[in-house]
Amino acid sequence: MTRRTSDPGSATRRPAPFRALAAVVLAGALAFTATACTKAGEQGGGPSFQGGSEAEEKPKASAAITAPAADAKDVPASAEIAFNSKDAVETAVEVKNAAGEAVKGAVTGAGTWLPEKALEYGTTYTATVTATGDDGKPATTTSTFTTMAKPGKQIRVTSFLGDGQTVGVGMPLIVKFSRAVPEDYRDDVQRRMTVRATPAQEGIWHWVSPTEVRYRPKTYWKANTKIFYKIQAGGLPMGGGWYGRSDLTVDIKTGPAVVMTVDNKTKKMTVKRDGKVIKTIPISLGKKSTPSSSGTMVVIEKLKKTVFNTMDDPNPANRYITDIEYAQRLTWGGEFIHAAPWSVASQGRTNVSHGCVNMSTANANWLFNQTRVGDPIQVKGTERKLENGNGWTDWNMSWDQYVKGSAIPAGETAATPSTEPTTEATTTG
């Protein structure tokens, strides 16, 4: 708001064209007021200013609620309050149920208030928006609405990870839906998905399929990062009369940054922890007829003892049943890191495996005790490239490729209110 000033010299701080105009106006004003401002007996005396002009009247603030509509019925339990205000220096939103109890929530963007969790079904709520202007006087508007009855068609939302887990720095956050989410509803779902990391790191959600979405940061998670993610899907419309069953929250953290690199040329694995090499291990990869995949993978599962059974392989030469120790799965197609005492003589020299990363029992045991699910491994220089989707291949894509899997534009943030103090990650989408 522009205010007038009582300082005649203030005109000198304006742009040049304005100064010229002001001088003309001022000259006319002086000529008009000279007689009134001159003291009796003075000849040619200059004008004497007695204070400035009165301040403009300060505009009054106003506010309006645009959704849900007043007295609306059958409102989804995921409802947010959309509002606008004018000439307000401060705007507050309050939502109460029929009993007068306040609903926790927060303003999440320009003109949007989101409850901290899904509203109750079949319940009447009153939203109040108060806008306070420069004059200090509040303007208040209210709107009452009623949520829908609990729907019979609900989609369950689940997370691969659970509270309290410690994972590797390459671990993607994996969220699944019990029913396919139509493409034109995915942006609405994604806007209700929030990731907060301490320390903050840029990241994005990527739709792997209609029933699965994942999140990864731009680079590997930093060591010992605290991660909180929330999917506020309760009551959210997901197409075809289906609604989200409930909200979901998960609290995890990463461990040290353990990163493995395998080079087919040297037949060695280099293991780093927090950027420092802690061990170099001789390995044997897949022979030419069954090559290992080159690309970036992460540890999917760890099995101290298991049995490899490939008797359903169409090639008789690849059929076997073998007891295995210290197995760490890398792909759905059956590539593992594992102990292979039968190939120790070939490790560091030549490739003899069926696609796995073979190492001695002692080295496999040592490595098994260093890693976590989600630790990344990069294999370089083999005859076959890793196929995206064959495992958690989120890091096998460039950042630009990964961003294309988001349902909302890069740079747009999803914001879910929380009463807990956290350091929010920079969310690209």
Of the candidates 37, 206, 354, 356, the residue annotated as catalytic is 356
For the question of residue 354 being annotated catalytic, the response is no
Structure-token match 């020299």, residue found = 349
For residue 262 the two structure tokens come to: 């395998």
Identify the helix (H) or strand (E) that includes residue 206: strand 203-209
Identify the helix (H) or strand (E) that includes residue 307: strand 301-309
The 336-339 sheet, strands edge to edge: 301-309, 321-329, 336-339, 357-359
**Strand pairing partners for 260?**
271, 377
Distance between CA atoms of residues 121 and 236, nearest Å: 12
For residue 248 the two structure tokens come to: 């979901």
Q: How many CB atoms neighbour CB 367 within 10 A?
A: 23
For the question of residue 356 being annotated catalytic, the response is yes
For residue 222 the two structure tokens come to: 């930093």
Would you give the distance in Å from CA 69 to the centre of its chain?
Answer: 30
Of the candidates 37, 206, 338, 354, the residue annotated as catalytic is 338
Backbone angles phi, psi at 329, to 5 degrees: -70, 140
Please name which of 229, 224, 218 lies closest in space to residue 194, comparing C-alpha atoms. Answer: 229
Those residues whose C-beta lies under 8 Å from the C-beta of residue 82, and which sit 6 or more positions away, are: 65, 66, 67, 111, 112
Distance between CA atoms of residues 246 and 50, nearest Å: 68
Distance between CA atoms of residues 198 and 214, nearest Å: 19
The catalytic residues are 338, 356
